[in-house]
Copies of this chain bind each other. A is one copy, B any other.
Amino acid sequence: MAGTGARRMRADARRNRERLLTAADEGFREHGVEASLERIAREAGVSIGTLYAHFPSRQALAAALLRARHDSLFELGDSLPGEWSAIDALATWMRAVAAHAAAYRGLATFLVNALGDEASELHAECARMARITERLVDNARGTIGAKVTAEDVLAVTNAAAWTREQVSSSQADRLLDLALRGLRAVTPEPPL
């Protein structure tokens, strides 16, 4: 695996990498995921060439920045099927993903693009999110409408993340609650 950590690096390289990540987190938080890379390098006290040496693309930088967050998200997603009811597990997952994908402004769009781009350093993470969603949706079959797909659930979740970025987290929560009510199965089954 590439860039899994700071092992076997020269001490100065290791320090530069750390500084870049700190500056990038600040930059992304302040200006969104499209923040200027030159400014991030400047803020880290490092040349722009060094930034590119460590992170060959904006996706790679974002992936490194999100690694810890992704790890705990996946841990949650894998643990959910055991706990609560299937519908509560799904709801918890959707809320967690929506909160995660709004960590930086523009991140929801960034992640959706990564899911559709196999070359992106974030593609594997996005695919994993999709797989976990599929499992939780399958588990909730019968409780949720028969015509609801995992893609529907992922789309709603990403849309909620976008709402969180653009409007507010409380509005995003309301959107998710609304969607969850729509997800539940009713009889007779209405057309979707």
Contacts and interface: CB of A to CB of B under 8 A. Distances in A.
A180 B182 contact: yes
A152 B172 CA distance: 9
Interface in A170-192: 171-172, 174-175, 177-183, 186, 190, 192
Identical subunits present:
2
B190 A174 contact: no
A133 interface: no
A50 interface: no
Interface of A: 109, 112-113, 148, 151-152, 155-156, 158-160, 162-163, 166-167, 171-172, 174-175, 177-183, 186, 190, 192
Given A113-B166, A151-B171, A156-B175, 17 more contacts: A109-B109, A152-B171, A152-B175, A152-B178, A155-B163, A155-B174, A156-B178, A159-B159, A174-B192, A175-B179, A177-B192, A178-B179, A178-B192, A180-B182, A181-B181, A181-B192, A182-B182
